[in-house]
Amino acid sequence: MILKTLRVQNFRTHSDFILEIGEKSTLISGANGSGKTSLLEAIYFTLQGTSFRSSDKEILRNDGSSWFRIDLKDSKDSLRTVTFDNSLTSSKKQFLIDGNKKARLSANLRVPVVL
């Protein structure tokens, strides 16, 4: 899988951020705490269904938000979308994978990943 575009909304430090990934190499640089590792975590989370930094989905959300969304598009224009919603109107946490409701995210994903 060759990644092309990553969009994160309300994920960690990012309220809405789009990363266009180059064909050869992409360099991500920035100050400490600016969200560089969060972008890698978003990719990993979308492909594996779990975080490599935390098991608590609550802290993956941007402060003040009840949801987060990650869109990952590959070079074949295949799109994978993961949405987590823990809104005040819902009594259950809910994941959507490409629009389909799932109770547990990690059981529905597992793509081999090398970062």
Residue pair 5/20 in contact (Cβ under 8 Å)? The answer is yes
pLDDT at 1: 78
Query: What is the set of domains in the chain, with CATH numbers?
Result: 3-108 (3.40.50.300)
Report, in angstroms and rounded to the nearest whole number, the Rg of the chain calculated over CA atoms.
Answer: 14
pLDDT tens digits, 2-14: 899 999 999 888 9
The pTM of the full predicted model, rounded to 2 decimals, is 0.74
Torsion of the alpha carbons at 73, 79, 82 and 87, rounded to the nearest 10: 110
Residue pair 73/5 in contact (Cβ under 8 Å)? The answer is yes
pLDDT tens digits, 59-104: 677 777 888 899 999 988 888 888 887 764 444 556 677 777 665 5
pLDDT over 70 at 16, yes or no: yes
CA torsion through residues 27, 32, 34, 39, sign: positive
pLDDT at 95: 67
